[in-house]
Chain A
Amino acid sequence: MDSLDGEEFDVIILGTGITECILSGILSSTKHKKILHIDRQNYYGGDTASINLKQLFEKYNKPTEGLENSKFGRYRDWNVDLIPKLLMSNGELINILISTKVTEYLEFKQISGSYVYHKNGKIYKIPSTEYEAVTSSLLGLFEKNRVKNFLQWVSQYRFEDPKTHQGINWEKNTMEEVYYKFGLGNSSQDFIGHAMALYPTDDYVKQPCKECIERVILYSQSVAKFGPGKSPYLYPLYGLGELPQAFARLSALYGGIYMLNTPISDIKFNEEGKFESLTIPQGTVKAPMVIADPSYFPEKVESTGKKYIRCICLLNHKVSSTDQKDSLQIILPQNQINRKNDIYIAVLGAEHFVTPKGWNLAIVSTILEKDNNDNPLNEIEPALKLLGDIEEKFFEVKEILKPKEDGKKDNVFISKSYDAMSHFESMTEDVKDIYKRVTGEDLVIE
């Protein structure tokens, strides 16, 4: 066995989820850190891996006999995300991908549609431009004009030019006040706040409107980026699990050492309580700091008090009322379904090489609201109903964890669990935050 005993590194990273892999890639390629990157499992990606159908059945303890020649097609043709998320075309993750040139290993396709649920039981394409707002059947005649005025105001607002403000100060006025000013009703508020700005709850309406407006702009820019009329989202061919692999390769190209399937024991701290070394079968390795996902330091993380449910559904048909689209996102805003948290549905298929032809994958996720629920699937029932017949489903309830401390005391920097959000913006925030704590500098993405 190729020994590493006594070897010293600048950073040891535990877990190959996307957060850890981005940090590894950036620290290795731009900061020239000597990195040892370990995963106890024999595949890349941790919770952000994409797994094939056989692995999926095994994970949820369903029998895999006969799977090879079953109705599901070849099991290798499935790439199922454990955490479904989409990339905003103009979002920060895309900027990171481009600036690190990791895009050289990846291919993306747009998600064909972005929909919002209305309490009447139907789904509607989300209007994102003034033109779409006036043609959308989601909005009543008068509401159309109000939404159009709002979107116009957003697109023309210049911070330094009070003439464009129409009496609203982005830093002082709340979103509630903005909605009032434009006379926007509940259903418009729901699609602006939840389907465009992607807030999972209604807490944002009491906050200064700036953040919400910026999110609406991000949404509109993302829709416009690769040709309007589709959705603001991109998704990599073969699943999200490609992303951590691509960043791991970037890190390796600059000397990062990769070890999968490697158990860790004997994590040692010095007398000041700072991380010192850990032991793997190849010997004891040292570094002044360690970055890890929450599963490697269970004693150093705590629950956020939130649990999410995720339900993976295999469909042999397209989702109805979507013009036979192969990929889409559907958001069910909390108000429309009498909940406090939105439900997200990501639908993907053969166009993104995550299912065989003729199949679709729908992944439903939300934050659970009822404690000790015997049947948590109840909470996502309106979403499941939209999907029609489901050939097979797998669901899981998981606690969302966060580090107890910021890592300054022990030099152990722990990432957050991936949330139930439908996009990556919170993950990239975590990457930037850890990067700053580790290097003392802001992460600048060019």
Chain B
Amino acid sequence: MIQFKLVLLGDSSVGKSSIVTRFVKDQFDLNKESTIGAAFLSQTIKLLDGDSGEEVAIKFEIWDTAGQERYKSLAPMYYRNSNAAIVVYDLCDANSLSKAVKWVNELKEKLGEDNDCIISLIGNKLDITLEDESKRAISFKEGEDFAIENGLYFHEVSAKDNIGIKDIFQEIGESLYKQYKEKRVKNSTANGPGTSGTSNVELNRPSTNDSTSCCS
């Protein structure tokens, strides 16, 4: 199975964990403070390979911030080797889009210019605006404009009402798979991927329950 690392970014209380919990467990808990104890969550999606017509499964290893974003203390390790990022803001908080923009810039800086990380900009808490449009603080167009300008995917979603959550991951998954296939073609003509020589030591990677998974 192909495995990808996906990181969540965005300020505290924009609903990062809720999005993951909805995607991975199909649950929503309004009072849940933050994810406790889990190193990262995994979820597998299926998609169709356009060329072969076969179904392929890809697995996301999803890293949540564990609160380390609250005082701008995310470690470089968090960003390292991430294949995709979901940058979240709160549609009902006027400041939160500009903060999301900062997270996008931070991510790009940390990964360096030659990264091919796929970024999705997500406005969360759509349910609140659907109930009462006056609570909306950031228009669809504002979010979309920034996303287009920076080459990001963009959606407005609700983790609470389960609107658009699955689609975020499906879209990212398809894009990652395409990238993966292109790279594989390139590497088969060149001389294999980056690392040479010895392989890594397997101390234990018990995080996932399938033994075939490894570093992507």
Interface residues of A (CB under 8 A from B): 2, 29, 43-44, 74, 76, 89, 94, 97-98, 101, 103-110, 112, 226, 234, 237-238, 242, 245-246, 248-250, 252-255, 257-262, 282, 326, 350-351
Contact = CB atoms under 8 A, between A and B. Distances in A.
Interface string B63-92: 000111011110111101000000000000
B31 interface: no
A105 B77 contact: yes
Interface residues of B, number: 34
B50 to A, nearest CB: 32
A109 B201 contact: yes
Contact of B196 (A44, A101, A351): A351
A29 B39 CA distance: 12
B77 A109 contact: no
25 contacts: A2-B71, A98-B203, A98-B204, A101-B204, A101-B206, A101-B207, A103-B203, A104-B207, A107-B215, A108-B200, A109-B200, A110-B201, A226-B201, A245-B78, A248-B68, A248-B75, A249-B78, A253-B35, A253-B37, A253-B66, A254-B36, A257-B70, A258-B73, A260-B73, A282-B71
A104 B67 contact: no
Given A104-B205, A258-B68, A238 B200 contact: no
Contact of A258 (B71, B112, B196, B206): B71
Contacts of B67: 252, 255, 257-258
Contacts, number: 99
B198 interface: yes
B73 A259 contact: yes
Nearest to A238: B80
B36 A253 contact: yes
A253 B204 CA distance: 19
A110 B199 CA distance: 9
A103 B73 contact: no
A112 B206 CA distance: 26
Contacts of A246: 77
Nearest to A234: B201
A257 B71 contact: yes
Interface in B161-214: 195-201, 203-207
B40 to A, nearest CB: 7
Contacts of A110: 198, 201
Contacts of B201: 89, 108-110, 226, 234
Question: Chain A binding site: helix, strand, loop or mixed by DSSP?
Answer: mixed
B30 interface: no
B193 to A, nearest CB: 13
B75 A249 contact: yes
A108 B198 CA distance: 11
Nearest to B197: A351
Nearest to A357: B196
A189 to B, nearest CB: 31
B38 interface: yes
Given A246-B77, A249-B77, A254-B37, A326 B203 contact: no
A262 B71 CA distance: 9
B114 to A, nearest CB: 9
B77 A237 contact: no
B198 A245 contact: no
Given A106-B203, A351-B195, 12 more contacts: A2-B71, A76-B112, A98-B204, A104-B39, A104-B206, A104-B207, A249-B66, A249-B68, A254-B36, A257-B67, A259-B71, A260-B71
